[in-house]
Amino acid sequence: MRRRPRVASRIFLALIYLFLYAPIFIMIVFSFNASKSRSVWSGFTLDWYTELFSDSMIISSLTTTIGVSVIAAIVATIAGTFAAIGFFNMRKRWRSPLLAINNIPVMNADIVTGVSLCLLFVSLGSVLKYQLGFGTLLIAHITFNIPYVILSVLPKLRQMDRNLVDAAMDLGCTWFQAFYKVIIPEIMPGIINGMMIAFTMSIDDFVISYFTAGSKVQTLSMAIYAMTRKRVSPKINAVSTLLFLFILLLLIIINVRQIRQEEREKKLRTLKSK
């Protein structure tokens, strides 16, 4: 590698990272700003954080968000895992179109998914006398979470040695025992990853929640949206700082797990080659 291009590319990279992180850091810095301005610094304060914790709207939207995300993640993980196993054991003729349909919520623009679900709920709702609310929100979240779980579990199934199940049955397991003694442990990393991704996507979602939650229920993102449209308040900055730290933590955990897993696989490979 020649020296000079390297310096230029380093500067370029640094600028890009600056571009990506400057707004975030500005947000964080101004969350401690003593005045309401988001661009004039007037001193350090933790007021906005304390106000945040006493803002009932924020707190309730936070509980809603966590509630939906946790439930949706769990349901999606279970359903997605079963679905992935089911798809994996299908013939290609059935599997390909089903996987294509499965990918629709992933590939579609958020707004289309949100709007289509909204229409569904509204038309069904008028028949079933059911309104938009936590239930529809939950259904929507589960719907867009399951594909991510499947996309996470399916590759692990593909990597799994098919002979393992045969070996288990050969040694006396029923198909059910083979299932939870052999298949599940093998794909567990995929399941856990899928669950974490589903959870993160739910926490982060705005557009789909916006169209399916109705007027009585609000997620954190929706609350933030309302805030950004109305008054300027550094409470938003405080929220984003906290969210940033939370996501950072989550990503670190996911990545550390991935690193550990890769090192384990590397060790297995050198042992096997002996």
Partner 1 sequence: MAKELIRLRDCTMVFDDDVVLNKINLSIKDNEFLTLLGPSGCGKTTTLRIIGGFVKPTSGDVFFNGVRINDVPPHKRTVNTVFQKYALFPHLDVYENIAFGLRINRHEGRRLSKDEIHSRVMEMLEIVSLKGFEHRDVTSLSGGQQQRVAIARALVNRPKVLLLDEPLGALDLRLRKDMQIELKRIQEATGITFVYVTHDQEEALSMSDTVVVMDGGVIQQIGTPEDIYNEPVNAFVADFIGESNIVDGIMIEDGVVEIFGKKFACLDAGFAPNEPVDVVIRPEDVDIVDIKDGMLTGTVTNVTFKGVHYDVIVDFKGFKWLIQTTDYCPVNSRIGIKIDPDGIHVMHKSQYSGMFGDYSSYSAEYEEISDAELEPEETVSEDKLYEA
Partner 2 sequence: MKLKYLSAPYIVWMALFVVAPVIIVVVYAFTSAAGEFTFDNFAKMGGYVSVFSRSFLLAIISTAICIIIGYPVAYILSKERARQQRILIMLIMLPMWMNFLLRTYAWMSILENTGLLNRLLTLLGLPAVNIINTPTAIVIGMVYNFLPFMILPIYSVIVKIDRSLIEAAQDLGANAVTVFRRVIFPLSLPGVFSGITMVFVPAVSTFVISQLLGGGANMLLGDLIEMQFLGAAYNPHLGSAIALVMMVIVMICMWLMNKFGAGGEEAVML
Which residues within the stretch 34-73 sit at the binding site for partner 2 (CB under 8 A)? 38-40
What residues from 202 to 231 belong to the interface with partner 2 (CB under 8 A)? 204, 206-207, 210-211, 221, 224-225, 228-229
For partner 2, the binding residue among 16, 46, 167, 268 (CB under 8 A) is 16
Residue 259 site contact among partner 2, partner 1, none (CB < 5 to 8 Å, cut-off depends on kind): partner 2
Q: What is the largest CA-CA distance in the chain?
A: 73
Nearer to partner 2, 32 or 211 (CB): 211
- Count CB neighbours of 214 within 10 A: 18
Residue 273 site contact among partner 2, partner 1, none (CB < 5 to 8 Å, cut-off depends on kind): partner 1
For partner 2, the binding residue among 69, 77, 152, 209 (CB under 8 A) is 152
Query: What tokens were used for 59?
Result: 């707190």
Query: What tokens were used for 201?
Result: 């996507």
Determine, following the binding rule CB under 8 A, whether residue 115 of this chain makes contact with partner 2.
yes
Contact string 231-270 vs partner 1 (x = CB under 8 A)? ---------------------------------------x
Q: Which residues make Cβ contacts (< 8 Å) with residue 164, sequence separation at least 6?
A: 182, 183, 186
Residue 187 site contact among partner 1, partner 2, none (CB < 5 to 8 Å, cut-off depends on kind): none
| Smallest separation (angstroms) from partner 1 to the CB of 274 | 5
Determine, following the binding rule CB under 8 A, whether residue 271 of this chain makes contact with partner 1.
yes
User: What burial letters (b/e) apply to 13-50, b meaning 16+ CB within 10 Å?
Assistant: eeeeeeeeeeeeeebbebbbbeeeeeeeeeeeeeebbe
Determine, following the binding rule CB under 8 A, whether residue 273 of this chain makes contact with partner 1.
yes
Query: What tokens were used for 247?
Result: 């996501």
Q: Helix, strand, or coil here: 4?
A: helix
In angstroms, rounded to a whole number, what is the distance separating the alpha carbons of residues 129 and 139? 17
Residues touching partner 1, count (CB under 8 A): 4
- Tell which residue, 81, 72, 70, has the closest CA to residue 188: 81
Where are the alpha helices (H) located in 89-183, listed in sequence order? 92-107, 110-128, 134-159, 163-170, 175-178
Query: What tokens were used for 274?
Result: 């002996």
Query: What tokens were used for 93?
Result: 């003729």
Nearer to partner 1, 229 or 269 (CB): 269
| Smallest separation (angstroms) from partner 1 to the CB of 254 | 24
| Span interacting with partner 2, options 43-51, 56-64, 140-148, 266-274, rule CB under 8 A | 140-148
| Smallest separation (angstroms) from partner 2 to the CB of 240 | 4
Query: Which parts of this chain interact with partner 1 (CB under 8 A)?
Result: 270-271, 273-274
